[in-house]
Amino acid sequence: MPRGGAGGQRVELARTLRRTRDQLISADGMPPRIELELLRQHVPQFSAGLPILAIIVGAAGALFALADLPVMIAWVCLNLLTALPLLVMLRAFEKTAPSMVAAFSWRRRFQACHVVLGVPWAILMLWPTCKACGFEALDAVRLAVAVAAIATLALIGASLKGVVLWSFGPLALAAAYLTSTTDDPSRMALHGVLLAAVPFFAVVSSRLRASKVDRIRHRTERDQFTFEIEAARIASDQARQRAEEANLAKSQFLATMSHELRTPLNAILGFSEVISEEILGPVGNDTYRDYARDIHNSGQHLLDLINEILDLSRVEAGRYTLNEEAVSLVAIAKAAIGFVQMKADTKRIEIRAEFEPDLPQLWGDPRSLRQVILNLLSNAVKFTPPKGHILVRVGWTAGGGQYVSVRDNGPGIPKEEMPLVLSSFGQGTNAIKSAEQGTGLGLPIVQALVSLHNGSFELSSAPGQGTEALATFPHARVLEVMPALSDLS
């Protein structure tokens, strides 16, 4: 398995393990990392909002002092006393920097401190005030400051789950008790409004908390996505580096092997040719002479294979250098036909040529273009049956470029075998059945060389209808014919 794929699996495994761990640790479906982030938001937000609560408590104390001063002083002091555990807890959280494992433990501690913080408000509603003081609007004032406190806490403490219910649950119970024990419709209405305010602001706080959770989730997913992209990039860089190292090792191996193989092959080809041609004297045995020819042919086949492998490896490694100059496709095609003409005559194959006249020259590498046309002609001669015919055409394309087409009337190639014959070392069924099996590198080399010339290569065929190989070169490589100086005067 490629290492890049293994890296992707590790990322997916880590993500799955994190989700599973979150689900196992979470008590209410909330991942601990999100709960911890909410608590980190809650501490500074609540600390910043405490002065507002202090102002509300101070205002309430000033108003209630008009009715019963000693009781209100005691109530303000009680607020300060009940706020102390929460202040200590906020400070401890800031200093501790807890981990995800302790997130829910800290949440329960904060909730307990908020229960203590809400006790004075329940006492405020239940404490009987001095009726002889003549402060008729006392119940309305108590309702107003209580609602203000509930709304303020719902906003500044929304990051803590159930902050309104934990803080003002005792107040809601006190309001429910007073509503059920009074016969005065106005007092009953005031207490009912206060009783309804607690769940209302609890819902508001819950919605605010949910929106924060969504933002944290989106940010976490974005960070995770960024991490995965970075991991994929690192894996891709590593895979590319390994591929480059492997390609370099392959190139070095091929260069070494080509030298090591060519040295004995030259001797094999030379000595077998001397023996088969009887240059130093008669062999005296026809079988030995045939063996020498077979050795020479096999050595030549091996040498061609080595050369083709080296050419293809240099192209794939981007080390194939084009020595470009002005060339004539027609001239190269004529020369290539001359190379294969003897073999075609042996099979009594007719090679016809159709060249458009006055074609301008093309900017390209003559050796590469010669190899392209020669490979196409060699394939055509190889698979064309005896007494068949091959048509070679060179001409203009519709876009102003030039093309070389080699068409034969051989057995053709099935459609499903097209990708195979265009791949390295790929051979179709006709090639396998043929007595003249090749290396399977001719067409891939043609593709690579045409691509280096910014051209395109197409192979069209059908069983029983022959094969046409078409190499097209772009208009940018066609050299414009400049008019003579006499024509410009």
Q: What is the pLDDT of residues 245-268, one digit of tens each?
A: 887 777 677 667 666 777 788 888
Per residue in 46-67, pLDDT tens? Answer: 888 888 888 888 887 777 766 6
Give the dihedral sign, CA 438/441/447/451. Answer: negative
CA pair distance 265, 303, nearest whole angstrom = 7
Which stretch of 311-325, 392-406, 439-453 has the lowest confidence by average pLDDT? 311-325
* Strand, coil or helix: 395: strand
Confidence at residue 13, expressed as pLDDT on a 0 to 100 scale: 60
**240/250 Cα distance (integer angstroms):** 15
Determine the length of the chain.
Answer: 489
Q: Which of 38, 321, 358 is nearest to 30 (CA)?
A: 38
Q: What is this structure's pTM? A: 0.47
pLDDT of residue 333: 92
Closest CA relative to residue 33, chosen from 21, 45, 17, 47:
21
At 300, the pLDDT band (50, 70, 90 cuts) reads confident
Q: What is the pLDDT of residue 26?
A: 52
At 6-22, the pLDDT tens digits run 555 555 666 665 655 55
Taking only the tens place, the pLDDT of each residue in 407-437 is: 998 888 887 777 777 766 556 555 444 545 5
Confidence check: pLDDT of 344 > 50:
yes
Q: Where are the alpha helices (DSSP H) in 317-452?
A: 329-346, 366-383, 418-421, 429-433, 442-452
pLDDT of residue 316: 66
Helices (H), strands (E): how many in the chain? 14, 7
Mean pLDDT for all residues in the chain: 80
Select from 92, 121, 89, 91 the least CA-distant residue to 108.
89
Q: Which residues pair with 392 in a beta bridge?
A: 353, 406
pLDDT at 488: 46
pLDDT band at 122 (very low <50, low <70, confident <90, very high): confident
* Residue 308: half-sphere exposure toward Cβ, Cα within 13 Å: 22
Strand-by-strand arrangement of the 402-408 sheet: 350-355, 389-396, 402-408, 467-473, 456-461
Write out pLDDT tens, residues 123-140.
888 776 545 444 455 777
pLDDT of 144 above 50: yes
What confidence tier does 24 reach under pLDDT thresholds 50, 70, 90?
very low
Among 102-106, 125-129, 150-154, which stretch is predicted with the lowest mean pLDDT? 125-129
**SS3 of 212, please?**
helix
Helix H or strand E segment including 198:
helix 185-276
Is 288:325 a contact under the CB 8 Å cutoff? no
* pLDDT computed for residue 394 by the predictor: 94
How far apart, in whole angstroms, are the C-alpha atoms of residue 51 and residue 212?
23
Residues 269-287: tens digit of each pLDDT: 888 888 888 888 887 788 8
Q: Give residue for tokens 């997916």.
A: 12
Per-residue pLDDT at 206 exceeds 70? yes
Amino acid at 349: I
Examine the pLDDT at 211 and tell me if it is beyond 50. Answer: yes
pLDDT on residue 248: 74
